[in-house]
Each structure stands twice: as structure tokens, then as C-alpha cells.
């Protein structure tokens, strides 16, 4: 809903309005609600891959952003554990819990009911054992109505991927820069720079594909390595995140593409609009206008009928003081 505004036919104090009319007049109606898009499906995504049509994927963590992304036609939405940094202010993704992911994913699903929704499995929700992984993934599917889950790691996670897909849970893999393992990787750095490292990434991608992963994110590796991954995997959708154009699709962090994360701007992110600057300017205008008593104005408040006001004054006048 849009901002509150004073009902146009109640700005003259002498007029009375019924309760129902007053309620509806408090809000400006949305002139046109977009039509619901067709529910996405894995076969539809695979068809795009087969036809060479690029697949779009963005992160999302809340209801309004999910609504806008669905209306824009984004193919896949990822509720990333990056919400730990972008939404909760942590310095890494490690403190994010299952409960955090469930709450944000539920909000995103309400905003984007028809987009293919992938939910990140947070740190230690799948690493300890195959059983832990299946239970955690099952909880996400049941409680968030997501379409798939995503986990980080290569060959060492193949048994988790296989177990989850065997019980009907679609799984997306994640190779290259894996934030949950950033400490072991030496920080948030380019991965696969050497021939040996590149070979391991390609091999891991093939192993994840064989285990049943429907898609694999390749994050921050040389574009040549991503190209080789794409050439050596035929059954999985390859999504590039900062790894060049040679993939079936692209992934960006929403907050990076709109200048909404104040701590740093990744090289791989293109800023499509500096919303952070616009928001800051709007906030400063608000502070200035309130300080100068320029806000609120008459169109921002409500009035009661004059006779009701006079009756109220009389009633208060008859009340004992104190």
C-alpha cells in the first residue's frame, strides 16, 4: 500500500464520513496490479539451457524485493546465506542459522509465488552427515515451499547431493569461491587460478552433475575455467557468479547491483542503479523537513468533523482535571 493521505472529501471539517468509507479513503489504491506469471518449473529451466537462452538469477531476502523480481521476469531467485551480511550485518555468512533462512525464505516465497526458488543451506546444516543434510533440506522444502536447496563443496559433498536428490529434493551445487569455506581458501579471493586448481573445479563439477545436481554456481573463477566447466557438463545448469559469460546463466547479489551494501563493492557486480544514494538523499530531506517544520503538511494528516471536535472539547471540559 502507498502512503497515508488525508481523504479528499474529509479535508473540510464540516463533513462526516461513514467508518467504511473513511477506512478505504485512508489509502491510495494501486492503479494496476500486474498479472501473475506462470509457475516456473525445472523442465522450463532445462529447456532454456537446451535452447541456449541465458538464465537470470538474483538473490533476494524479503517480500517486496521478491515481488519486484518476479514482476521483472527473473528466472531463479536465491535466498542466499549472504543475508547474514547484507541484511543482518555480520562480517561473514557463518553465523546464519536455519531459522534465519526459513524466516527470510518464507517472506520471499510470499512475494514471488511463481518463480523458481532456491534456498541456501547455512553453515553446518549439511556438513556433519548425510542424514543432517537430508533433514535440513527437508525442513526447507516443507516450511518455505522452496523449489530447491543449494550447498557448497565438490566431491566431498557428492553423497549429500545424491541422498537429497534420491528423496526428491532438487539440489544446486556451488564451486569456486565458497564463502562458508573462505577461511580455508585464504579469504574472498579468485579461485582456480592455476591449471591444477582449475582441473579440480572441472572435476568437482562433473562429480556433482553425476550425483544429480540440477545446477551448479561457479563463483569467482577465471572465465576460461567456467567455460571448461560448461563444456564438460551437459546435464546441469551452469550459473556464473563473477566467472564470465561462458555459462547457462548469471547470478548477482541484489544489494551489490543497487549499491545497498555499504562495506564494499565487489568487482564482479554491476551497479544498475545507485539506490543507496537515492535512499540517503531521501532520508536527509526528511530530517531537514521535520527540523524546519515543513513536514507534515495538511495533505499528510486527518481531520474530524467540526461538530465532533466541538463535542470532544466540551466533553474534555467537563472532565475533572488530573
Q: Is 219 a catalytic residue?
A: yes
Give which of 113, 69, 105, 106 is closest to 252, Cα–Cα.
69
Other CB atoms within a 10 A radius of the CB of residue 132 amount to: 15
Q: State residue 268's pLDDT score.
A: 82
3-state helix, strand, coil in the chain (%, to 5): 45, 10, 45
Domains of the chain listed by start with CATH number: 42-270 (3.20.20.60)
Q: State residue 206's pLDDT score.
A: 98
Q: Is 174 exposed, middle or buried (0-12, 13-18, 19+ CB in 10 A)?
A: buried
Active-site hit among 50, 131, 219, 307: 219
Mean pLDDT, the chain, whole residue set: 90
Interval 224-275: pLDDT, tens: 999 999 999 999 999 999 999 999 999 999 999 999 998 878 888 899 999 9
Instruction: Note the Cα 72 to chain centre separation in Å.
Output: 14
Interval 45-87: pLDDT, tens: 999 999 999 999 999 999 999 999 999 999 999 999 999 999 9
Q: CA-to-CA distance for 135 and 140, rounded, in angstroms?
A: 9
Interval 108-164: pLDDT, tens: 999 999 999 999 999 999 999 999 999 999 999 999 999 999 999 999 999 999 999
Helices 130-144 & 98-111 angle (0-180, nearest 10): 30
Q: State residue 15's pLDDT score.
A: 40
Peptide bond between residue 296 and the one before it cis (omega within 30 degrees of 0): yes
The pTM of the full predicted model, rounded to 2 decimals, is: 0.87
Amino acid at each position: 500500500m502507498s502512503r497515508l493521505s488525508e481523504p479528499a472529501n474529509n479535508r473540510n471539517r464540516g463533513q462526516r464520513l461513514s467508518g467504511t468509507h473513511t477506512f478505504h479513503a485512508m489509502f491510495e489504491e494501486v492503479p494496476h496490479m500486474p498479472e501473475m506469471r506462470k509457475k516456473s518449473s525445472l523442465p522450463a529451466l532445462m529447456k532454456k539451457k537446451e535452447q541456449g537462452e541465458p538464465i537470470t538469477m538474483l538473490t533476494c531476502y524479503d517480500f517486496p524485493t521478491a515481488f519486484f523480481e518476479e514482476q521483472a521476469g527473473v528466472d531463479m531467485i536465491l535466498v542466499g546465506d549472504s543475508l547474514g551480511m547484507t541484511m543482518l550485518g555480520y562480517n561473514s555468512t557463518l553465523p546464519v542459522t536455519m531459522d534465519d533462512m526459513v524466516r527470510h525464505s518464507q517472506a520471499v516465497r510470499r512475494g514471488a509465488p511463481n518463480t523458481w526458488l532456491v534456498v541456501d543451506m547455512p553453515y553446518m546444516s549439511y556438513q556433519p552427515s548425510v542424514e543432517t543434510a537430508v533433514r535440513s533440506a527437508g525442513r526447507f522444502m516443507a516450511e518455505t515451499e522452496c523449489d530447491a536447496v543449494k550447498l557448497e563443496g565438490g566431491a566431498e559433498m557428492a553423497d549429500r547431493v545424491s541422498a537429497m536428490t534420491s528423496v526428491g529434493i532438487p539440489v544446486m551445487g556451488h564451486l569456486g569461491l565458497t564463502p562458508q569455506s573462505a577461511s580455508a581458501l585464504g579469504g574472498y579471493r579468485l579461485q582456480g587460478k592455476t591449471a591444477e586448481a582449475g582441473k579440480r573445479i572441472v572435476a568437482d563439477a562433473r562429480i556433482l552433475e553425476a550425483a544429480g545436481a540440477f545446477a551448479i554456481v561457479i563463483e569467482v573463477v577465471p572465465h576460461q575455467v567456467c567455460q571448461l566447466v560448461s563444456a564438460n557438463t551437459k546435464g546441469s545448469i551452469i550459473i556464473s557468479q563473477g566467472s564470465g559469460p561462458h555459462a547457462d546463466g548469471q547470478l548477482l547479489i541484489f544489494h551489490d547491483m543497487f549499491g545497498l551494501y555499504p562495506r564494499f563493492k565487489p568487482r564482479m557486480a554491476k551497479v544498475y542503479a545507485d539506490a543507496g544514494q537515492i535512499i540517503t538523499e531521501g532520508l536527509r530531506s526528511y530530517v531537514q523537513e521535520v527540523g524546519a517544520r515543513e513536514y507534515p503538511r495538511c495533505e499528510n494528516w486527518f481531520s474530524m468533523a467540526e461538530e465532533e471536535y466541538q463535542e470532544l472539547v466540551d466533553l474534555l471540559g467537563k472532565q475533572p482535571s488530573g
